[in-house]
Amino acid sequence: MFSHFHTSATDAAALTNHAGARGIEWVGRFLRFGHIVRGILYMVLGILALRLALGTRGEAMTQTGAIKMIGHQPFGFVLLAVVAVGLACYSVWSAIHAFLDPLRHGNTFRGLARRVAFASNALVYAGLLIVTLQVMVGPLPFVPASFDWTTSLLNSAYGAGLVGIIGVCWIAIACVDIVSGMRGAFRRDLDLDRRRPAECRWAMGLGRVGIVVRATVFAIIGIFLVATALHINPHHATGTDGALLGLLRQSYGRTLLAAAGLGLMAFGVFSAMCSRWMRPHAAATLASSHGEVAPYVG
């Protein structure tokens, strides 16, 4: 009897572990698909920047602009539907890691900072999902056509201070990403041991260039946010589009913008290829033994 009970308990535990492994596998598949879609958006964003550097002005150089450009292509509705599914996967994955904390980051300052970063990713990609749906089917009920959060904050009490703090945090995070990218710290999150040396070199090269360039663009956005707070002028507020246009206004601006476009395209290729390079069952783009959030999250 006791032997039968022990066997049943063992079988039940095995079934539970198998079910958990299957669940992780499905989460991993969703995340891989989300990485591919995110990579496509950054590749299109890089193309938009490169086109402007070559003298052709198209959609705004933002992820929203990238979504609209995809919608203008043949079979655009089908492509946007694929993008919408990928964005939903990435947003849900980020929300799971922010609120359920399966990585056990905990409630320490460092752990909470990582969970807040995941929550921010969830909101950003949920917003892009809404934009995608609006491009597909038109305005959605109860969803404003546009919203300028910096203007809303500046019109509120202590809004300028909040915008400034957000800008400083954005710059700090960008600087950390630049250092991490240059050091190749993202390698711990990739399963490159079984890859050919040439593929490993491509992975590291794309990762370094892409992460550093994207972080540099984000740092410029943070600088603009700080300038907005200091001058209390919402017209100084800017996103990716304004940051890239800021490069264009500098000496050798077209060269800088072209380099930024190529770097964003490199990040897009890197993000898409992470669907192949990420560690097996690493549903959070991390090496479980390290418990580190990848610097390219978001």
Q: What is the DSSP string of 151-162?
A: HHHHTSTTHHHH
Is residue 15, in this structure, part of any structural domain at all?
Answer: no
Q: What was the pLDDT predicted at 16?
A: 37
pLDDT of residue 232: 62
In a domain, 6, yes or no: no
Asked if residue 282 belongs to a domain, the reply is: no
Flag whether 56 is in a domain. yes
Give how many domains the chain has, as a whole number. 1
| DSSP-assigned letter for residue 278 | B
Out of 54-58, 126-130, 237-241, give the one with best mean pLDDT: 126-130
pLDDT(157) > 80: no
Indicate whether 12 pLDDT > 50. Answer: no
Residue 229 Cα to chain centre, angstroms:
25
Q: Do the domain assignments include residue 194?
A: yes
Range of the domain at 259: 26-277
DSSP annotation of 190: B
At residue 160 the predicted structure's pLDDT band, cuts being 50, 70 and 90, is: confident
- For residues 40-56, average pLDDT: 86
Judge whether 289 lies within some domain.
Answer: no
Q: What is the pLDDT of residues 75-86, one digit of tens each?
A: 888 989 999 988
Does 297 map to a domain?
A: no
Q: Which residues make beta-bridge pairs with 190? A: 278
Question: From CA 135, how far away is CA 124, in angstroms rounded?
Answer: 17
Q: Is residue 5 part of a domain?
A: no
